[in-house]
Every structure is written in C-alpha cells, then in structure tokens.
Chains A and B, each alone.
Chain A
Amino acid sequence: MNTTLDHFSQHTLSRFQHELDKYPSDQKQSAVIACLSILQQEHGCVSPAHEKALAQVLEMPVMAVHEVFTFYNMFNQQPVGQFKINVCTNLPCQLRGGQKALEHLCQKLGVGVGETTADGKFTLQPGECMGACADAPVLLVNDRNMCSFMSHDKLDQLIDGLQQAEAKP
C-alpha cells in the first residue's frame, strides 16, 4: 500500500527528516537535492521508482523531482561503477595537469572518458570546477570524497588501493 515505506528504509527516512527539519513545513521541496543525493549515495543511482516515492515524501510532482535530478551535473543519469571518479579538467586544473591526470587514469583503467571498466568497478568522467583550484590535479570519488594533488604516482596508489580495499570484506 505505502509506496514510501516500501522504498525507503527507516535509516534513509531519518536522513530525509534531518534535511526536512531545515525548511518550513510547507516547503518540503527544498530538501529534494539533499534527498536525491542521499539516495544516490545509498544506491549508486536513483531509479524512477525512487523519484516517485520521494515525490510523495516531499509532496511535490514526480516531474519536478525528475527536473531537478536531470538538471544538476552530479546526479548519475546512467548507472555507474562502484567507484565514480570525476577529474577536474577546467582551465586552472588543466594548467596543472588535470587533463593529464584524466588521460593517465584512462590508460591505467583501460577505459575511455565517460566509460566504466568491464568489471563494473570504476567509472571515469571529466568534471567542471570543484572549487579546489590550488590543489590541482583534483578529483572526486563517488561525489563526496575529494582527492587533492593527484600526481601520477598518487593516482596509481588510489586505484590500486581501491582495488584492494574492495577485495577485502
């Protein structure tokens, strides 16, 4: 009967509530970006069923949820690997090896820009300015973790480390 409870765990709902508490009770829609990002963190991607259920929680049209989901760059419009890596290639980063870092990762992972490795572990994407220009090259792992000063050595350490970290239970 209740779509919302079918879709979201108590833990997820309590995280939603933390966001909802910030806004007036008749402005639940304000929490939509935060709630979508929570769903993306927990599930890797946001399904149409999630969008529908979230629209109920936030008392807004499903299409308005979808509009937000497709407007903001960090929401995954396609399924991604276990680790999504976004490398900033904007001009300040490009001047300090951002583009080369992206190319190095392409080579190391054996994928093109925007692709996912065959084992489903890594998705490699370019990124726009992350507001960390002095730390270039910079990248984001799964939206929430920034890695700074990513020399080729450090990129190798990161990828090797993620491979091993994942291998252990």
Chain B
Amino acid sequence: MNVQQLLAQFQSQGLESCFHGRHIQPQIYADLNGRNWGLQDYLARGGYQALRTILGLNGEAAWTQDQVIACVKESGLRGRGGAGFPTGLKWSFMPRQFNGQKYLVCNSDEGEPGTCKDRDILEYNPHIVIEGMAIAAYAMGITVGYNYIHGEIFQTYERFEVALQEARAAGYLGQRIHGSDFSFELYAAHGFGAYICGEETALLESLEGKKGQPRFKPPFPASFGVYGKPTTINNTETFAAVPWIIRNGGAAYLACGKPNNGGTKIFSVSGDVALPGNYEIPMGTPFSKLLELAGGVQGGKLKAVIPGGSSAPVLPASIMMDITMDYDAIAKAGSMLGSGAVIVLNDTRCMVKSLQRLSAFYMHESCGQCTPCREGTGWLSRMVDRIEQGHGKPSDMDLLDSVAENIMGRTICALGDAAAMPVRGMLKHFRAEFEHHIKHKTCMVTAAVTAGEHHG
C-alpha cells in the first residue's frame, strides 16, 4: 500500500458530520450522500435551475438585476460568516455602473474554532456555491470571482477545482453562459494557515499575494476591494443559500425561519456531545432541540455553551436551554450566533483551562498590526495561563477585565474583540472558578469531580 492509499483510509467520509439524516428541512445539505457531489447529480437535484431562471433560459423573461437583489432582500438572508449582515443590502451597495472590473469573492477560509460547515458544503455540494456565486455575479454585474478556501482543507480545495472544471465544461461558467449576455469566470484560491485571513480585508490582501493583515474600513470592499476594485465578499453558506431562495422565492425562505432571521442555518456542534456534526435546521429552532439532534451531552451534565464560534461569549446552561438558535435571540442573551459553531462543555470542564486554550490561540493568530491586539492578546494569554497554573494574583481578576476592555474597539479588525469577548464572557458567568484558582491554587471543577468520585 502506498502512502496516499494509506492516508485515504483515515479521510472523513462525512457520514458522522453530514449524512446522519438528522437535519430539519435542509436546503443546502438536502439529499446528499457523499457520492453525489458532481455536476450530473447536482442537475438531477434541480441544480442550476435558479441560474437558468434568472438568465431567462427557462422560457420566461430574464430577471433584472434589481429583481434578484429584491428577492434576496425579501428572504431576510443574513451573512453566515459571523457578522450577520443582510445579504441583499450588501449586494445593493455594489456600484453596478462602475466602469471597470468588479470582483466577487467567496470567503471559505473557515477557521473559527468550532466551525466546519463550509467544508461539508464545498466537499459534498460544491456546485451549489458555484451557482450561488453566479447568481450574485449576475445581480451585481460582476464577471470574475474567487473562492478563497482554508489551506488546511486542501482536499476540499482540490474537489472544488474539479467542480469548477465541470461547470466550465457544461457552460455554467465562462463567456456568454448558455447563450445569454452574462459572462462569469470563477477561480479557486487557497490560504496556508492564517486564522486572520477569515477577516474579509485580510483575505483580500492574501488574495493579492500579501501577508494577511486587515485593512482600515472605510473604504469598504464595495468601493475598494481586490486590486483596489469594487468587490463583494460573502461567506460560503451565504452563497449556498441563494439558489433555493431564487427557486422558491424570498418569502418562502423567510418563512422557514423567523422574522429578521430567514431560512435554515447550519450549526457545527462540537465538544461534549454524543454526535458532533453539522446540523442544518430552521433559524429559531430551540437550542434544546439542536442538542437533542446532536445526541445530547456526553460525559456529564450541560455546563456551558459557546454558541457562535470561539469568539462568542460563553453562556451558561440555564440561559442556553431557554433560547432559540437565531441571530436576535442569541444576541439578546448576551452572545452571538457568529459562524454557527456550537461548542458544548459538560460540567467536568474547567473554564479557566478552556479559556487558557482559546487565549493562546488568539495570541498566536494576532497579525501584529495593532498594538492593543498584538500586546493585549499576549497579556491576556499569560495571565490566564498563570491563573490556571495556580500562580494567579487577586489583582489579576480586574486586570483581565481591564486589558480585555482596552483591546475592544481599538483595533483595525475584529480579532481584538474576538480575543477579548471570550474573556469577558467567562468572567461574567464563571467568575467563581477563576477566583478559586487564584485563592486555592487548584481547580474548583477537578476538586468537585474528585470529591464526587470519593463519595460515589
């Protein structure tokens, strides 16, 4: 057996993460099995019909650009990458009449800890992203696009390149698509290990072949994007939602979720659950239902959940069990839906140790451009580290909060906030654990678990 054959044996087949049959009314993950990712299967599922419809290839009149944007606006689709910005509104910011090259970019640099939804979309349904991007390009008068894919999922990048070749060969990409006046060429690019490149302007820098250091905004990408040209950038899942919206109408999509939170959302559930994986469910589904789909908590009782990727403030079990999974409900509870990564922690988990790992991550990934982030992430990490190891000082509690507060809002991009928010969330809801570490130089949770074992 050669090396490639050997390594193939350990490759994920998506059975656990995607083809488990426990989605609720899925749109993006519907009817996938891991083998039907190619063009012919996508066409058999009704693929590229939305693109054909707007181009007027299905016997009726072509849609205007305004019609497409109005449909997406009506759907209530909000950006699935983390910020939740209304997609139709973003598309309307594009200066469509700009006399020169405009670009469309898909952000598939999925590296927010806890998130693995875009990988499964690109791996098992790549054409839905291509079709979504082609529709977006049509709506904004764009002729060239790039899909920037996380470097760590290289096999997925290679699959997407094959899908692009299929789409070109079948005339769904290229010059004058299926005889229409619309031309769109799409290419795949990849990163090589930099969390910061998930930030949209860092991604644009990276796409230009530079270090991924975020740009000041404004100017926003809509006026100054790739190569200084007007650019619209959306997340993979956002583009993947578009074909369904065009086929079924904006109102139908909105009706799948709840007002201001249209459609389905893919949640990546990881950590202490029996069945970690991606779950596509309607927006507004109770968290308790999502937890049930993921097989319930494993190894103990539910203690806390980081509901939107590692940058989102942690929420205790009591709050989580009462809320629904949508932008507004999670924001009201004091956290954010973010990228839809749900990290579940059971009651044997030490929150100091959990934060220690996250703070080390942000220190490692800070691009170093802004002083509050470059110095602050290291300071936070060193403090949490010493608290965890029993060397914390009582004054560290206020200092942690103060350093976090002084990073927030004082950096070019959101990585600084992303490093600070978990710290503040932990201090807000689990302050006692940090104080215990400082006072007793041991872990409160380990002590309780050990005591439980002795008594039990």
Please report A residues at the B interface, Cβ cutoff 8 Å: 22-24, 27-34, 36-37, 58, 60, 64, 67-68, 71-75, 89-92, 94-96, 127-136, 140-141, 143-150, 154, 158, 161-162, 164-166
Contacts and interface: CB of A to CB of B under 8 A. Distances in A.
Given A33-B206, A130-B152, A146-B11, A71 B194 contact: yes
A150 B9 CA distance: 11
Contacts of A134: 16-17, 116, 268-270, 276-278
A67 B271 CA distance: 36
A132 B270 CA distance: 10
B11 A145 contact: yes
Given A75-B192, A161-B1, A131 B361 contact: no
B131 interface: no
The 4 A-B pairs with the shortest beta carbon distances in the complex, nearest first, are A73-B193, A74-B193, A29-B209, A147-B10
Given A30-B189, A34-B189, A92-B270, A131 B276 contact: no
Contacts, number: 193
A137 to B, nearest CB: 11
Contacts of B195: 128-129
Given A30-B208, A131-B152, 20 more contacts: A22-B146, A22-B189, A27-B208, A58-B209, A71-B194, A72-B191, A92-B113, A94-B357, A132-B152, A133-B268, A133-B276, A133-B341, A134-B269, A135-B16, A135-B276, A141-B7, A143-B192, A145-B7, A165-B1, A166-B3
Given A29-B210, A165-B3, A144 B361 contact: no
Interface of B: 1-4, 6-7, 10-12, 16-17, 101, 110-116, 118-119, 146, 150-155, 187-195, 206-212, 227, 268-272, 276-278, 310, 341, 343, 345, 349, 354, 357-358, 361, 364-365
Contacts of B187: 22-23
B358 A74 contact: no
B236 to A, nearest CB: 11
Contact of A96 (B116, B118, B227, B276): B276
B270 A136 contact: yes
A130 B17 CA distance: 15
A28 B209 CA distance: 8
A136 B269 CA distance: 12
A133 B190 contact: no
Nearest to A28: B209
A147 to B, nearest CB: 4
Contact of B115 (A95, A133, A146): A133
A91 B358 contact: yes
A136 B187 CA distance: 30
Contacts of A91: 113-114, 271, 310, 343, 354, 357-358, 361
Specify which of A34, A132, A158 lies most central, judged by the most chain B CB atoms within 10 Å of its CB.
A132
8 contacts: A30-B208, A33-B189, A75-B192, A95-B272, A96-B270, A129-B114, A133-B115, A135-B116
Contact of B153 (A34, A132, A136): A132
Contact of A64 (B7, B110, B210): B210
A141 B371 CA distance: 35
B151 A37 contact: yes
A64 B112 CA distance: 27
Nearest to A41: B154
Nearest to B341: A133
A58 B298 CA distance: 52
A48 to B, nearest CB: 18
A162 B111 contact: no
B190 to A, nearest CB: 7
Given A74-B151, A147-B7, A128 B111 contact: yes
A71 B3 contact: no
A95 to B, nearest CB: 4
B358 A68 contact: no
A147 B11 contact: yes
Contacts of A148: 10-12
A72 B276 contact: no
Contacts of A149: 10, 12, 16
B403 to A, nearest CB: 20
A144 B268 contact: no
A150 B310 CA distance: 22
B343 A95 contact: yes
A62 B77 CA distance: 44
B44 to A, nearest CB: 28
Contacts of A71: 194, 211-212
Contact of B361 (A24, A128, A132): A128
Contacts of A73: 192-194
Contacts of B189: 22, 30, 33-34
